[in-house]
Amino acid sequence: MSVIAVARLEARRLFVRPLAWVLGALTLAELAWRFVLLLGAFLANQIRLAAVAGGPGYTDIVAVPTLSSLLTSAAMPFGVLEMALVIVPLLTMSCIAGERSQGTLPLLFGAGLPAWQIVLGKYLALLGWLVLWLALAIAMPLSLAHGIHMDTGKFAAATLGMLLALATLAAIGVACSSFASHPAIAAVASLMIGLMLIGVNLGAQLAGVSNGVINWLALGSHLETLLRGLVSSADIAWFVLVSAFALALAIRRLAADKERG
Amino acid sequence: MTAPTVVLQLDTISRHRAGRATVSDLSLTVESGQVLGLLGINGAGKSTTLSMIAGALRPDKGRIVLAGEDFLEQPELARRVIGWLPERAPLWHELTVKEHLEAHARLRGLAGATLRQARDRTLERLELGSLGRRIAGVLSQGQRQRLGLACALIHQPPLLVLDEPGNALDPVQVAALRTLIRELASQGTAVILSTHLLTEVTAVCDRVAILHEGRLRHDAPLAGTDHQALEHLFFDIALRGAQESQAA
């Protein structure tokens, strides 16, 4: 009940701030433009592609690349994942650091809420916004699904991957916000950790190493499998583990706030 | 009129910060219907004490008994037992007055029709009805203070903890605040009022506790003590405390 009360409070604060609306509107506009360009490229090559047996279709050329370009080698940058690397830190930066700098954090403690309820409530509210944002983004490729052949299983796996990636980035953002004294510091830290998780294995890949700890640490390794339509419990477990670890750190830090004052 | 019951009992609580005791071995008892004035110069440990009572800070040692239960073991007691107005009334700038009250009511476990009734009753009681749709960020300091007080009162707690509630209020609002505190006390609410204004204490309190450098130097009923006598006592404690610090 208290978790829901915190989530409602955070969601309300998120929806009345112009930042969330501006970020949502601008990123969806960019994604729409990207979708139109990808669709144009697909239509231009449709006849040629149809001649290739087992060649890429709408799902491979338009739907999945709308979600991410980094991992599907699409020519145009900034899919949902690339946008999320920037907007998630901006959305999460104030959730705890903002309360701290405004002096409202003690109000939540004073309402008898333990740290885990505060962190979980805020996380759920942010996740709600991101799910809505992702739903609007995937509505673009889905809008043509009735008139085109779409590999729904592959697209569902890719969407699941994006959802897990967003949940992980949000958890990291909440953790950074719980440690930072100022929202801007939280945003920068969260952005850098996100970029690091994406690019941690670039060196290994360039050296031709496709296994090992470095590749396991990289968000991209786990997301790529899902974007290719393969749902593996090991990849899902990675996202769940990283999210749980980040949220546990946030809870620990917030509980220490109450102890230390 | 029911017999007064002990709402809050502080048992030798202490809190240290940066190796220095901000509150040291403080013991106090507050009964229902009682208004306790917590006096002290700046840095005496008043706000730290109130934060510990409200559950926002944990004492390093000691025990807090709230409504007969161990508060440190059950911090969720704060939800229904305590209403807290911190110093400078922190608010969420982007939310309206009504949204503040609704959020606080939900955090205290109220929902549905009960929540709406509590919201409307509190808006009326604190004369905030005309400001209901205004966002907190544009309120004057006095209005913010009244909203903070409204948030503390929304769930009708048996213990009200007020940290400098008269700050930024005009004389008319101060008089209304005093009337409200006395009214709440007559209904059985225990009130702890932290202030450095002696007039505030003599006007509304039944008892006064004086803190100096985190230690309780005086705790007695106020009956028969006029403003001048309290002023004399307060300065005497502050002066003596300063001399003791210098000697140490």
pLDDT tens for B139-151 read: 998 899 999 999 9
Directed axis angle between helix A2-16 and helix A18-44, to 10°? Answer: 80
Tokens linked to A165: 């990636």
| Percent of residues, chain B, with pLDDT higher than 70 | 99
Is residue B225's pLDDT more than 80?
Answer: no
Is residue B245's pLDDT more than 60?
Answer: yes
Query: What average pLDDT does chain A have?
Result: 90
Segment B38-46 mean pLDDT: 88
| Residue B32 near residue B89 (C-beta atoms within 8 A) | no
Segment A128-157 mean pLDDT: 92
Residues B57-106: pLDDT tens digits?
A: 999 999 999 999 999 999 889 899 999 999 888 999 999 999 999 999 99
Higher per-residue confidence, B129 vs A122: A122
Residues A176-220: pLDDT tens digits?
A: 999 998 999 999 999 999 999 988 877 777 777 777 788 888 898
Q: Which of A8, A9, A110 sits opposite B55 (nearest CB)?
A: A110
Contacts of A106 in chain B (CB under 8 A): 51, 54, 56-57, 86, 90
What local confidence, expressed as pLDDT, does residue B241 receive?
75
Calculate the CA dihedral of residues A7, A10, A11, A15 and round it to 10 degrees.
Answer: 180
Report the Cα A105 to chain-centroid distance in Å: 26
What local confidence, expressed as pLDDT, does residue B166 receive?
84
CB contact under 8 A, B107 and A261: no
Amino acid occupying residue A68: S
Q: Highest mean pLDDT: which of A236-245, B50-59, B127-136? A: A236-245
Residues B180-213: pLDDT tens digits?
A: 999 999 999 999 999 888 888 888 999 999 998 8
What local confidence, expressed as pLDDT, does residue B141 receive?
87
User: How sure is the predictor about A51, in pLDDT bands with cuts at 50, 70 and 90?
Assistant: confident
CB contact under 8 A, B107 and A9: yes
CB contact, 8 Å: B92 with chain A?
yes
Question: Can you list the alpha helix ranges (DSSP code H) found in A143-182?
Answer: 152-179
User: How sure is the predictor about A75, in pLDDT bands with cuts at 50, 70 and 90?
Assistant: low
Contacts of B17 in chain A (CB under 8 A): 261
Is residue B226's pLDDT more than 90?
Answer: no
What local confidence, expressed as pLDDT, does residue A205 receive?
73
Is residue B248's pLDDT more than 70?
Answer: no
Amino acid occupying residue B95: L
CB contact, 8 Å: B217 with chain A?
no
Range B150-173 burial, b when 16+ CB lie within 10 A, else e: bbbbbbebbbbbbbbbbbbbeeeb
Interface ipTM: 0.87
Neighbouring residues of A66: CB distance < 8 A, sequence distance ≥ 6: A31, A34, A35, A38, A79, A80, A137, A138, A140, A141
Is residue A56's pLDDT more than 90?
Answer: no
Segment B9-16 mean pLDDT: 93
| Residue A233 near residue A162 (C-beta atoms within 8 A) | no
Report the Cα B166 to chain-centroid distance in Å: 11
d(CA A69, CA A89): 20
Neighbouring residues of A239: CB distance < 8 A, sequence distance ≥ 6: A164, A165, A167, A168, A222
Contacts of B56 in chain A (CB under 8 A): 106-107, 109-110, 258
Is residue A135's pLDDT more than 70?
Answer: yes
CA distance B147 to chain A (A): 13
Is residue A121's pLDDT more than 70?
Answer: yes
CB contact under 8 A, B86 and A2: no
DSSP H or E segment with residue B210: strand B207-212
Q: How far is CA A254 from CA A6, A113, A114, B115, B191, in A?
A: 15, 11, 9, 28, 29
- The three-state secondary structure class of B177 is helix
- Residue boundaries of the structural domains of chain A: 3-260
d(CA A119, CA A258): 14
A-B CB pairs within 8 A amount to 83
Q: Which of A16, A110, A261 sits opposite B94 (nearest CB)?
A: A16
Q: How far is CA A34 from CA A65, A224, B75, B83, B178, in A?
A: 9, 20, 51, 52, 63
CB contact under 8 A, A13 and B109: no
Q: What pTM does this model have?
A: 0.90
| Residue A89 near residue A103 (C-beta atoms within 8 A) | no
CA distance A176 to chain B (A): 21
Q: Identify the residue among B92, B101, B149 best suited for mutation to test binding to A, counting A beta carbons within 10 A and taking the highest.
A: B92
User: How sure is the predictor about A70, in pLDDT bands with cuts at 50, 70 and 90?
Assistant: low
| Residue entry with tokens 């994604």 | A31
User: How sure is the predictor about A74, in pLDDT bands with cuts at 50, 70 and 90?
Assistant: low
Q: How many CA atoms lie within 13 A of B213 on its CB side?
A: 12
